[in-house]
């Protein structure tokens, strides 16, 4: 990528990753809805944003004292996480049951999740469009 080491490139990369996760989340929600009547089916969710936030926060300088490491075998107190290594995780929800047949899919909740996901995707496309409009403004 031409802008890989700039804040513009990082912003585009994060938006693109979020859009990919949103597409995955849509597939997971659709699978949950499709299996709403399947006995003993456990719904899935996609976790990504919390790990991305953790990685982005690790890039900020921390105010803690650094531990002196006198050996390569020492474990550092603080490790920076590259946000590009963070990926989405599908997680099964085993903690809740809503039906007598062991199925824990709540159609109302899944439809709300679907709507929220769609709105998030639209917001991401608007953010991406805004980034390129700024580039066009500079180039004019």
- Structural domain includes residue 2: no
pTM of the model: 0.81
- Structural domain includes residue 70: no
Chain segment 51-73, per-residue pLDDT in tens = 999 888 888 776 666 667 788 88
* Count of domains for the chain: 1
- Structural domain includes residue 131: yes
Alpha helices in 35-89 (DSSP H): 49-58
Q: SS3 for 85?
A: helix
- Structural domain includes residue 42: yes
On whether the CB atoms of residues 101 and 40 are closer than 8 A, the answer is yes
Alpha helices in 1-140 (DSSP H): 7-34, 49-58, 107-139
Full residue range of the structural domain in which residue 111 is found: 7-61+75-139
Largest separation between any pair of C-alpha atoms in the chain:
63
- Structural domain includes residue 66: no
Chain segment 87-134, per-residue pLDDT in tens = 999 999 988 877 788 899 999 999 999 999 999 999 999 999 998 898
Tokens of 132: 């390129």
- Structural domain includes residue 1: no
pLDDT score, position 1: 46
Report which of residues 37 and 98 the model is more confident about.
Answer: 37
């Amino acid at each position: 990528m031409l802008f890989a080491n700039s804040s513009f490139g990082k912003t585009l990369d994060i938006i693109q990753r979020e859009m990919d996760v949103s597409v995955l989340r849509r597939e997971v929600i659709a699978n949950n809805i499709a299996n709403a009547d399947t006995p003993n089916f456990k719904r899935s969710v996609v976790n990504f944003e919390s790990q991305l936030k953790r990685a982005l926060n690790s890039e900020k300088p921390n105010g803690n004292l650094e531990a002196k490491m006198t050996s390569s075998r020492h474990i550092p107190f603080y490790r920076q996480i590259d946000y590009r290594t963070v990926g989405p995780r599908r997680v099964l929800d085993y903690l809740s049951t809503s039906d007598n047949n062991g199925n824990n899919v709540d159609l109302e909740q899944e439809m709300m999740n679907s709507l929220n996901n769609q709105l998030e995707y639209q917001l991401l496309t608007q953010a991406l469009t805004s980034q390129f409009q700024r580039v066009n403004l500079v180039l004019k």
